[in-house]
Amino acid sequence: MTDVARTTATILRLGHQGDGVAHGPLYAPRCLPDEQVSGVQEGTQLTDIRIETPSEHRIAAPCRHYKSCGGCQLQHASDDFVASWKLGIVEKALQAQGLETRFRPIHTSPAQSRRRATLAVRRTKKGAMAGFHGRASGVITPIPDCQLLDPDLIVAIPLAEALAMAGASRKTPLSVTLTTSETGLDVLVRDGKPLDSALRSALAELAGQHGVARLTWEDEQVAMEQPPLQAFGAARVCTPAGSFLQATRDGEAALLAGVLEITKGAKRIVDFFAGCGTFSLPLAANAEVLALESEPAMIEALENGWRQARGLKKITAEVRDLFRNPLLPEDLKPFGAFYEAAVIDPPRAGAETQVAQLAETRMPVIAYVSCNPVTFARDAKTLVSAGYRLNWVQVVDQFRWSAHTEVVASFTLDD
């Protein structure tokens, strides 16, 4: 048999997905800058990689599943290297827009703190298997000692496997989303068999056996021992199944601390892309809030949480698609007095149209939370061009060991 020719390369940098990039470009997963590597070239990908000369930043992965699991991308790199790289991603995105600012120290969530995970669960000849898919693979890797997830999620893996035994087909794996809450586990299952009376009965029994707060099958709630509650300031909110939630409590607290600092002293605040009230409800401890969100179920959850909480100021919640129908300067008039601050936390696409309108309102203070440095930098350029000062940025790494980066940033209007 003829040996497959191997290619040698020097890793120049990391790409935005965390892969090493050599000349070509040639992409080499789980490699670091300045490493000498060899592998089999398949198009622009390097496979069967050997590290010939390791980087000084290379470490032994803390999780024994890392080699086969696709859940993490950067466990082979030191914490200091990852922190510096993530800060650099945001800094370069701003520089591409001609912007500079002061960076606060990065905040990184600890290991075993992810409060939500979506597991792939497949029936097997001997039972079931739950875990994460391997990198670019349909193979499921079991993760009993995962160093990323909250231990309460690890304990629930047998439940995920039991759900597959009850309601998965042999051909298609279940997608089981597990979320921790103050009252127990919130479970959402997709890609399962259609519900019938026998399956409903089996699912309800499993939920009871495993102490599940709520079990949702596709879009139908099949069991709820008690509402799965999330704490947003003084309020407790039963979030809709599968709705947006910050990845870790620790990361959420870091983002919230930045938002509260930026908007301190404001008595009337607009919260764009408010979700279920992650920022609106804590802000309402000291300010009246106008909360805008496109999903009616999330607005309903926010309002219910506000009504049941004590000591909060007024929240006016409105269902509004801010992409198709951005809030205009004149739209604030029906809500009364002048708003003193805005919070905006858009999805990865950013909020180009809404930010342009927000700049025209001459809002004195803006707290911008972003999960995409590129669209954040684009929107920041719009605000700076309109007369705003970008005072500081803090990177919040709540997606530990991944290429994902989040920021909270302070803008004030220069008069």
Digit-coded pLDDT (tens) for 233-279: 999 999 999 999 999 999 999 999 999 999 999 999 999 999 999 99
Asked if 216 and 225 count as a contact pair (C-beta separation under 8 A), the reply is: no
Asked if 263 and 341 count as a contact pair (C-beta separation under 8 A), the reply is: yes
What is the distance between the alpha carbons of residues 216 and 411, in angstroms, rounded to a whole number?
40
Furthest C-alpha separation in the chain: 80
What is the pLDDT, as a whole number, of residue 258?
A: 98
Digit-coded pLDDT (tens) for 122-136: 999 889 999 999 877
Q: Are strands 26-28 and 36-42 parallel, antiparallel or unpaired?
A: unpaired
What is the distance between the alpha carbons of residues 350 and 28, in angstroms, rounded to a whole number?
29
Q: CA torsion sign, 259 to 281 to 274 to 314? A: negative
Strand partners, 290: 270, 316
Catalytic one of 72, 238, 276, 371: 371
Asked if 176 and 153 count as a contact pair (C-beta separation under 8 A), the reply is: no
Query: Token match 């790494």: residue?
Result: 397
What would the two tokens of residue 162 be? 């039991």
Digit-coded pLDDT (tens) for 301-338: 999 999 999 999 999 999 999 999 999 988 877 665 57
For the chain, the residue count is 415
Query: Token match 């002293």: residue?
Result: 265
What is the distance between the alpha carbons of residues 318 and 308, in angstroms, rounded to a whole number?
18
Asked if 411 and 388 count as a contact pair (C-beta separation under 8 A), the reply is: yes
Q: pTM for the complete prediction?
A: 0.95
Asked if 136 and 70 count as a contact pair (C-beta separation under 8 A), the reply is: yes
Catalytic residue at 69? no
SS3 state at 198: helix
What is the distance between the alpha carbons of residues 184 and 178, in angstroms, rounded to a whole number?
10
What is the distance between the alpha carbons of residues 150 and 113, in angstroms, rounded to a whole number?
5
Give me the half-sphere count of Cα atoms (radius 13 Å) on the Cβ side of residue 13: 11
SS3 state at 105: strand
What is the pLDDT, as a whole number, of residue 242?
A: 93
pLDDT beyond 90 at 137: no
pLDDT band at 48, cuts 50/70/90? very high
CA angle 242, 173, 181 (to 5 degrees): 30
Q: What is residue 183's DSSP assignment?
A: T
**Distances from the Cα of 258 to the Cαs of 174, 249, 320, 367, 399, in angstroms?**
38, 14, 25, 8, 18
| Average pLDDT of the residues in 201-205 | 96
Which amino acid, residue 187?
Answer: V
What is the pLDDT, as a whole number, of residue 337?
A: 57
Residues 6+ apart with CB under 8 A from 301: 237, 238, 239, 240, 243, 276, 277
What is the pLDDT, as a whole number, of residue 1?
A: 41
Chain centre to alpha carbon of residue 125 = 35
Q: What is residue 369's DSSP assignment?
A: E
Digit-coded pLDDT (tens) for 1-29: 456 789 999 999 999 889 999 998 999 99
* Percentage of the chain lying above the pLDDT 90 cut: 91
Q: What is residue 70's DSSP assignment?
A: -
Query: Token match 């399956």: residue?
Result: 199
pLDDT beyond 90 at 189: yes
What is the pLDDT, as a whole number, of residue 335?
A: 60
pLDDT band at 396, cuts 50/70/90? very high
What is the distance between the alpha carbons of residues 362 and 374, in angstroms, rounded to a whole number?
24
Digit-coded pLDDT (tens) for 351-363: 999 999 999 989 9
Which of 38-52, 119-133, 171-185, 335-349 shows the lowest per-residue confidence on average (mean pLDDT)?
335-349
What is the distance between the alpha carbons of residues 202 and 216, in angstroms, rounded to a whole number?
13
| Neighbour order of strands in the sheet with 26-28 | 7-10, 36-42, 45-53, 26-28, 20-22, 13-14
